[in-house]
Structure 1
Amino acid sequence: MATTRVIGLDIGSSSVRAAELEFGSGGPTGKTPPTLVRLGQVPLPIGAVRDGEVVQPETVASALRQLWAQAKFESKDVVIGVGNQRVIVRELDLPWMPLAQLKASLPYQVGDSLPMSTDDALLDYYPTAEFDGPQGRSVQGMLVAAQRDTVNANVMAVESAGLRPRMVDLNAFALVRALTRGELAGATAAFVDIGASITTVVISSHGTPRLVRSLPSGGHNVTAAVASALGVPLPEAEAIKREVGIGFAVGPDRTSASEAVSAVVRALVESVRNTFVYYAGNNAGAPIDVVVLTGGGSHLPGLGQYLSSASRLPVTLGDPLAGLRSAKTVQREALNGHESVVALPVGLAYGVAA
């Protein structure tokens, strides 16, 4: 039986993570569940990647070389993701035409509606449905417009490490692919990936993305607030942040830390909730059923309950490894309780195999 192996690579603000999946002849939807073959991560120093964009390419390239050596990935072909506030994602209806032709026509169809020149943008289109409109057969979908230099910076860092980017995908779409299995496949779900400095919110209905937002805040912003409030180094602030959490009573010696955590988390949760409200206002017949948290920042104690109270929705931690088989080369138990941090690399691997 023919098999395909794909490596998804997530370049985050605090670490680089990669996952290698093996798919049977039916691909992700085949009868044989995909197998997780290799998995690894290497931390990055603060400032190497800022707001989802590589700013210290050699530092990131060095971390990638270390990651490949440690995890023993055999291939250098990778799928990388992008996602920050310089990547615009919006719903757009277009006259129907074959997909390749439609994508080629994007610079001429969307140029006047973008806050950037199409010469400076990489454009893509994700069709979600077809319908008969006033002008005839039409396509409903999502336009993706990324600043070219943002993508190029990440691609160059990957190539400097000796790797070969086969595809550049949107992180939000990768989240949906990694997690919409089982009950979530038929639900309207809000996926909230809280990284170090970026929070990605994507709402999907029956596995189809309907709304994408990128928020400029994450777990590191909470840590930095604690460090500033207490005058302590970042590693110590990180430990204190995990100790006090959000929504818990603390002693007098932790009041300042608790207030610092609350200020940042409150603002982030309000932005996430506003995204839900915006979606609900435009999709009255398809309310959100569940919120699924992923990313390192999602493990702040009390965050799930805090978001659930603010949004009045059930909140759960996402498990991108549910339903996957694991090869003997993977120490699966090392991820117990923290499976959600590998949602992006797993979803990126799913993309090219779809």
Structure 2
Amino acid sequence: MSPLKAPERVVGIDFGTSSVRGVEVTTHPKKGPQVRRFARIALPTGAVEDGEVMEPNTVGDALKRLWEKGRFSTNKVALGVGNQRVLVRPFTVDDQPPARVREALPALVEEILPFRAEDALIDFYPIEPHPSDIGRVNGLVVAAAKHAIDEAVRAIRIAKLRTHRVDLIPFALSRVHLWGEYSNGTIALIYQAPSSTTVLIATNRVPRFVRIIPAGDEDVSTHMQQVLGKDLEELSTEFSSRTRNQDPGHFKQAMGEASEQIAKAAHGTVAYWANSTGQSIDTVLLSGRNMHSPAVFERFSSLFDNDTKLAHPTGGFSLHESINAEEMRIAAPSAAIGLATGGDSWL
């Protein structure tokens, strides 16, 4: 089973703290979905924080340069959300048309939101009919703060691009990684991003649970600065100059130690789901730049009794011959790839 095909040309955009990444996916007649174009542009400190655009003008200028570098064939953008200001919870609603469900959601979920319903974009992802309550549907309610999305959309407009859709990053990641041998069974996909770590649990590729832990690469970097005696600029240069397998021993050790608490939080999240549902995890799949460090992989895998594996940086997508595979491994653009492949929009 292969990943989903991209129905149209859309560039997936992933905003990190130190860079913005863009990916365009096409369909190769023999190889299937393929990363056709990719580019990455560095961002100055403070332009993006915790996955949110703080300086739209600065980010808009970076997007203009990203388009020049990537030579993307479209101005349509798929924007992802997935930091700690996004809530994803199991929820049950009446079985109604999607438009009716969306209309009723603000009043239904107001009590569980960390922000006012009128300040949020809210949607519902249906999974299955309720087993004992006829006329009801189990699924996931997804809510994100409007402000965070509005600033990103503003940056996209400044770059004279068009926001085609807004997608949940955990869902985008599932489209990239849950294929082939990971199409069946219950998989815990753990993705470490700059400011957060996502835990997504899916059965036969259908997402059933999502938690976003408010700690990620940046927290690891802060710890490593103290241990290695390097400032952020020096550390960022080292991070971007090589893959994690190429890191020297002391660098790997510091990264492993810095990832300990995130690994424990992810393990606790998976254990909570397994205990509350009575279901077991078949495979734990690790994704993200830091996960490719042997020391980090060891920290995570030692906590799980399940089969723990490292996800391929580009999932089931091949690369066009013009794209440097080494650069892709360093950039870890799986979120941007998933955003480029489709998904429902909140806009």
Q: When the two structures are superposed, what TM-score results if normalisation uses the length of structure 2?
A: 0.87
Larger Rg belongs to: 1
> How far 1:262 moved relative to its partner?
5.1
> How far 1:227 moved relative to its partner?
1.8
Equivalent residue number for residue 297 of structure 1: 290
Equivalent residue number for residue 62 of structure 1: 61
CA-based RMSD of the aligned residues comes to 3.1
Partner SS for 1:351:
coil
> How far 1:223 moved relative to its partner?
2.1
Q: 1:240 to 1:175 in 2, by over 3 A?
A: closer
From 271, 291, 298, the counterpart of 1:277: 271
Which deviates further from its counterpart, 204-213 or 290-299?
290-299
Distance, in Å, in 2 between the alignment partners of 1:188 and 1:77 is 34
Structural mapping, 1:188-337, within 5 Å:
188-237=186-235, 239=238, 261=255, 263-285=257-279, 287-319=280-312, 321-328=314-321, 330-335=322-327, 337=329
CA-to-aligned-CA distance 1:155-181 (integer Å, 9 cap, x gap): 111221111111111111111111111
> How far 1:320 moved relative to its partner?
5.7
Distance, in Å, in 1 between the alignment partners of 2:175 and 2:239 is 34
Pairs aligned (count): 337
Equivalent residue number for residue 11 of structure 1: 15
Partner SS for 2:84:
coil
Equivalent residue number for residue 77 of structure 2: 78
**Structure 1 gaps, min length 5:** 25-29
Partner SS for 1:112:
helix
Which deviates further from its counterpart, 156-165 or 272-281?
156-165
Preserved CA contact (<8 Å) 2:288 2:313? no
Q: 1:104 to 1:240 in 2, by over 3 A?
A: closer
> How far 1:86 moved relative to its partner?
1.0
Which deviates further from its counterpart, 267-276 or 97-106?
97-106
Partner SS for 1:167:
strand
Equivalent residue number for residue 45 of structure 1: 44
Distance, in Å, in 2 between the alignment partners of 1:236 and 1:31 is 43
Partner SS for 2:114:
coil
Preserved CA contact (<8 Å) 1:196 1:297? no
CA-to-aligned-CA distance 1:7-63 (integer Å, 9 cap, x gap): 211112222111111248xxxxx9972232211111222322111111122221122
> How far 1:351 moved relative to its partner?
2.2
Partner SS for 1:104:
helix
CA-to-aligned-CA distance 1:60-108 (integer Å, 9 cap, x gap): 1122111110010121101110011111100001111112221122123
Distance, in Å, in 1 between the alignment partners of 2:24 and 2:206 is 24
Preserved CA contact (<8 Å) 1:188 1:203? yes
Q: Percent identity?
A: 33
> How far 1:208 moved relative to its partner?
1.1
Preserved CA contact (<8 Å) 2:315 2:334? no
Distance, in Å, in 2 between the alignment partners of 1:230 and 1:36 is 36
From 341, 348, 352, the counterpart of 2:339: 348
Partner SS for 2:194:
coil
> How far 1:241 moved relative to its partner?
12
Q: 1:298 to 1:125 in 2, by over 3 A?
A: same
Partner SS for 2:151:
helix
Preserved CA contact (<8 Å) 1:223 1:241? no
Preserved CA contact (<8 Å) 1:130 1:140? yes
State the AA in 1 paired with 2:341: Y
Preserved CA contact (<8 Å) 1:22 1:37? yes
Equivalent residue number for residue 27 of structure 1: none
Which deviates further from its counterpart, 310-319 or 274-283?
310-319
Preserved CA contact (<8 Å) 2:40 2:66? yes
From 135, 151, 163, the counterpart of 1:137: 135
**Structure 2 gaps, min length 5:** 1-5
> How far 1:214 moved relative to its partner?
1.3
Distance, in Å, in 2 between the alignment partners of 1:221 and 1:115 is 23
Preserved CA contact (<8 Å) 1:196 1:219? yes
Q: 1:71 to 1:258 in 2, by over 3 A?
A: closer
Distance, in Å, in 2 between the alignment partners of 1:56 and 1:188 is 40
State the AA in 2 paired with 1:279: W
Equivalent residue number for residue 172 of structure 2: 174
Distance, in Å, in 2 between the alignment partners of 1:178 and 1:258 is 27
Preserved CA contact (<8 Å) 1:5 1:23? no
State the AA in 1 paired with 2:24: E
Distance, in Å, in 2 between the alignment partners of 1:241 and 1:44 is 13
Partner SS for 2:211:
strand
Q: When the two structures are superposed, what TM-score results if normalisation uses the length of structure 1?
A: 0.85
